[in-house]
Amino acid sequence: MIGMLSKISPKLKKKGRKNMRFIHATYNMLHNSIDVTTFDGYILRIDCSKAEEGLKTTPCSECALNALAIDNPLEYATLYLEGGMQKWVDAEDSLELW
């Protein structure tokens, strides 16, 4: 389950921070984490439990987050590192049919 080649948004280039470019990301089911490899030679591990701590979710959005981590780990990692997970969850919840 390797994510596609991508770059973190240029929004992260604030106040001298370096723009990190991802090569790929995989979901590690043994640790419930996303393992990210970058062009700069770094390997990052994002703990999904910690990343989702404090998010206001519904059962539907929790299921969507789990599916995102497994099916598209690069998008999950980008959302987490850019701080957009709550917005994504809110958008997922607004798509529910009532």
What gap in Å lies between CA 36 and CA 46, rounded to an integer?
8
For residue 64, the model assigns a pLDDT of 93
For residue 51, the model assigns a pLDDT of 94
Q: Which two tokens stand for residue 67?
A: 């599916």
Query: What does the DSSP 8-state code read for residue 12?
Result: G
DSSP-derived 3-state class of residue 68: helix
Q: Which residues pair with 26 in a beta bridge?
A: 35
pLDDT tens series, the chain, 98 aa: 333 333 333 344 344 455 667 788 999 999 999 999 888 888 899 999 999 999 999 999 999 999 999 999 999 999 999 999 999 999 988 876 55
DSSP-derived 3-state class of residue 40: coil
**Its pTM surpasses 0.85:** no
Residue tagged 């206001």 (tokens): 56
For residue 13, the model assigns a pLDDT of 39
Query: What does the DSSP 8-state code read for residue 1?
Result: -
